[in-house]
């Protein structure tokens, strides 16, 4: 089992403590996906969000959380049922990780849990050097949030993607046009008070450069569910462009750049960011 972990670690160039802790996080994420696969989780749910893009489709930025959607609404779903499967899987590879359910102050359709592990202890498992471990504060935890949407909007499709390490297994994922629709819903509708999530805008550029097809009907379903689109009229390309132009007019580009900076390897890729740049990027979207 340890040999497979070392093979996973070999994919990373771990020169700094940040490189090593990010590698550890991604190894834990992939082992968690393996545990969910063994527990038949992907018969009920699909992977989506930034970490799905990172692990399954090659997004070149780091991502923190594991986001899933049930294939259809299921009010009786309980994420807690998968806690022991996750802990067993990670323990089999030498990691001491506990799963804690997150209580909800407000009733929502999203169920949450955290994978928690002592960072310094888990760096021992991957045999990180002493010079790396000495830089980790005592008691520091690696936390990975797991979220499952139990009331997904309709109109998406999924596919099976395959991972080969630590063993070959499959992960059900949203297809890219529907993943893109979810990302555009975040850009158009997410409100972070006075903050902006630069990771959303980074992912937008990645989509438009590599996979510009966006499933507009699924975006509409997401917007209807969140009450950002009402009435009988369907969203057309012109409506989308108006909404996108409005989002860009509100964008604080410097704040967006600063938010995403810790998650990218090449800061120079962010220097070109401006409102004019994003206006151009958005016009490259192809609707399907």
Would you kindly state where each structural domain of the chain is located, as residue ranges?
2-174, 177-287
Q: Which of 235, 122, 145, 127 is nearest to 189 (CA)?
A: 235
232: number of CA atoms within 13 Å, CB side? 0
Q: What is the pTM of this model?
A: 0.95
pLDDT, tens digit, 9 for 90 and up, residues 111-146? 999 999 999 999 999 988 888 888 999 899 999 999
pLDDT, tens digit, 9 for 90 and up, residues 237-261? 999 999 999 999 999 999 999 999 9
Query: Which ranges of 159-262 does DSSP label H, i.e. alpha helix?
Result: 176-189, 198-210, 216-225, 237-250, 253-260
Reported as type and span, the H/E element at residue 280 is: helix 275-282
Six token digits for residue 90: 């990670």
pLDDT score, position 29 = 98
14: number of CA atoms within 13 Å, CB side? 22
Distance, in Å, from the CA atom of 222 to the CA atom of 218, rounded to the nearest integer, reads 6
Instruction: Pick out the chain residues at pLDDT < 50.
Output: none
pLDDT score, position 199 = 96
Six token digits for residue 287: 């609707």
pLDDT score, position 100 = 96
CB 223 within 8 A of CB 235: yes
Q: Give SS3 for 158.
A: strand
CB 167 within 8 A of CB 92: no
* Count of CB atoms situated within 10 Å of the CB of 192: 10
């Amino acid at each position: 089992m340890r040999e497979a972990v070392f093979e996973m670690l070999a994919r990373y160039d771990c020169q700094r403590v940040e490189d090593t802790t990010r590698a550890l996080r991604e190894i834990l994420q992939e082992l968690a996906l393996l545990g969910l696969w063994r527990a038949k989780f992907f018969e009920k749910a699909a992977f989506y969000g930034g970490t799905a893009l990172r692990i399954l489709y090659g997004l070149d930025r780091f991502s923190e959380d594991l986001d899933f959607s049930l294939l259809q609404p299921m009010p009786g779903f309980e994420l807690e049922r998968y806690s022991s499967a996750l802990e067993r899987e990670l323990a089999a590879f030498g990691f001491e990780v506990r799963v804690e359910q997150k209580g909800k102050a407000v009733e929502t359709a999203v169920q949450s849990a955290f994978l928690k592990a002592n960072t310094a202890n888990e760096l021992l498992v991957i045999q990180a050097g002493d010079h790396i471990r000495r830089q980790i504060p005592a008691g520091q935890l690696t936390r990975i949030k797991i979220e499952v949407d139990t009331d997904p909007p309709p109109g998406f499709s999924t596919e099976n993607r395959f991972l080969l390490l630590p063993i070959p297994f499959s992960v059900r994922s949203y297809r890219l046009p529907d993943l893109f629709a979810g990302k555009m819903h975040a850009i158009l509708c997410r409100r972070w008070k006075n903050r902006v999530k630069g990771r959303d805008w980074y992912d937008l550029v990645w989509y438009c450069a590599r996979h510009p097809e966006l499933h507009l009907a699924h975006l509409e379903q997401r917007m209807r569910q969140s009450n950002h689109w009402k009435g009988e009229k369907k969203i057309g390309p012109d409506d989308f462009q108006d909404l996108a132009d409005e989002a860009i007019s509100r964008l604080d580009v410097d704040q967006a750049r600063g938010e995403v900076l810790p998650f990218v390897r090449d800061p120079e890729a962010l220097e070109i960011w401006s409102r004019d740049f994003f206006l151009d990027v958005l016009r490259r979207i192809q609707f399907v």
